[in-house]
Chains A and B, each alone.
Chain A
């Protein structure tokens, strides 16, 4: 009897830990009070509207979007050919290359951020936005290579030879028969990269500078000064955005097949 009760209880606990904070944040953001508190003091949407009025949130949202979309596109432009080479040719040291490409997700973000700042941004005097863009591209690249490689490995390579024998060039064969068949994987990599970049804190923390911050960093510094529920409201909005993207991806692409 105990074992029959045991697993539902564990399931309930896990779900509470996973979804609980999210529910608390939503509740806190609907508060009518002046400070961040749970349970909320009264109900109102005023802090949700406040989010859109804060100037720095709007600016940093723009920067985060730019980094998430731009960085992911750059990572895909670098990652697709890399994945192709790793899966189709006998590249000397392929395993080493894979490990190096994956290292940004293995090494803690704090260290990556510090190292980039100390040995890359400071000595070469790169602009803040450029440094952030490079860092985000590097962080997304492992996901791009992993996910696109998985798609490529599921695709037979002889269809490219078939396309060539039907008159296509090698490059043409890649765009005509390889790309359409790994489209799902590329979209999955894009979404994964986008979400990773958008939620990235430690690396961005080191590289952000005056006037140029990503949204999570901006939220952190906002909270240091102001302790109102608008941060909770913004968190809830962002969580819904991520949820929406993943939901659409799952609905139309079967996202979970690729990750």
Chain B
């Protein structure tokens, strides 16, 4: 049981002066999990991370790590590591000394220190860079040093702040795999903060979607991607056609519209990805106001009586002309049913 509640936030309230950033948050994280804190900027994800690290004191509630209440323990006494978005390497120390910094403070000396640092550098593939200064490294290499510097401390929880945001697209893919590998090999509980849903979906075992200081949804990447429970999450993961329901009818810009098909009784809204919209047939009509070719697919922006609809179809099908009128359907059977709406 304690493994499933390895890290627990209990009614954690975080505030800046009188502004409450995160009110009464409850969250359990299991041992060895790779968790993403996903949300737009200002949603409280970074604040939550800083509170776990001890860089910010909560105004109430508690943080339990491995059955120990660490709410009041100072940041330098917590078994928590943090990889900063800017890497925060010490510019006056070389790579080796950066990695050795925390170990020396722990009192590790001599051959044990040397072995641990070298092992850490080997894990991130930087053995030959030991004597370089941070300024002589690329962004990706700095990221690895920062990771090694935290990992050699064997933290119980490793936090990463936007770990991939400062890297270019190709390095990002490489680093994604690298982070996953390090996490799986070491078994460390890892929480990373990101605003990029693709990153979260690709890396995490579990995703916590945050909005305005509260948790909007927790689930596996599959849950989040296929079964968003609110209009916000649906929109965030690419359901671009989101509608609220009222009395089993879609609420649109031009009034209520009935759909054929069985709408789940508890649904407060329905959402479709562009690919879920049936094109060429159906009870609705739309005028093409935009097309874009995306390799395997072609996207259409339709102006309809329901408002704007985004639809997508196989690019091998003949393209429809700009301004043409198309029939389409929003099939209820394919829609994600939302149990909460109103956050958009």
Contacts and interface: CB of A to CB of B under 8 A. Distances in A.
A176 B100 CA distance: 13
A180 B92 contact: yes
B53 to A, nearest CB: 6
Contact of B53 (A156, A159, A165, A169): A165
Given A166-B149, A168-B76, A161 B102 contact: no
B271 to A, nearest CB: 39
B129 interface: no
Interface string A193-226: 0000000000000000000000000000000000
A159 B153 contact: no
B105 interface: yes
Given A158-B84, A168-B76, A169-B76, A163 B101 contact: yes
Contacts of B290: none
Contacts of A24: none
Interface of B is mostly: mixed
Given A156-B86, A161-B84, A162-B82, A167 B91 contact: no
Contacts of A155: 91
Contact of B76 (A156, A165, A177): A165
B105 to A, nearest CB: 4
Interface residues of A, number: 18
B92 A181 contact: yes
Nearest to A182: B92
Interface in B56-91: 75-78, 80-82, 84, 86, 88-91
Contact of B153 (A166, A172, A176): A166
Interface string B142-171: 000000011001000000000000000000
Contacts of A159: 88-91
Contacts of B153: 166-167
B112 interface: no
Nearest to B134: A159
B319 interface: no
B65 to A, nearest CB: 14
B278 to A, nearest CB: 51
B265 interface: no
B198 interface: no
* Chain B interface residue bracket vs A: 20 to 34
A26 interface: no
A176 B76 CA distance: 14
Interface string B175-208: 0000000000000000000000000000000000
A166 B92 contact: no
Contacts of A180: 92
Contacts of B55: 161, 164-165
Nearest to A165: B82
B106 interface: yes
Interface string B37-62: 00000000000000001110000000
A181 B135 CA distance: 13
A167 B88 contact: no
A168 B86 contact: no
A161 B92 CA distance: 16
Contacts of B81: 165
A89 to B, nearest CB: 15
A158 B76 contact: no
A167 B90 contact: no
Contacts of B88: 156, 158-159, 161-162
A167 B76 CA distance: 4
Interface string A140-173: 0000000000000001101101111111110010
Given A161-B55, A181-B91, A181-B92, A167 B86 contact: no
B26 to A, nearest CB: 25
B75 A165 contact: yes
Nearest to B149: A166
B84 A168 contact: no
24 contacts: A159-B88, A159-B89, A159-B90, A159-B91, A161-B75, A161-B82, A162-B84, A162-B90, A163-B101, A164-B55, A165-B53, A165-B76, A165-B81, A165-B82, A166-B76, A166-B101, A166-B102, A166-B149, A166-B150, A167-B102, A167-B105, A177-B90, A181-B90, A181-B91
Given A156-B88, A177-B92, A180-B92, 15 more contacts: A156-B86, A158-B84, A158-B86, A158-B88, A159-B88, A161-B75, A162-B84, A164-B55, A164-B76, A165-B53, A165-B150, A167-B76, A167-B106, A168-B105, A181-B92
Closest 6 CB pairs of A and B: A166-B102, A162-B88, A167-B105, A158-B88, A180-B92, A159-B88
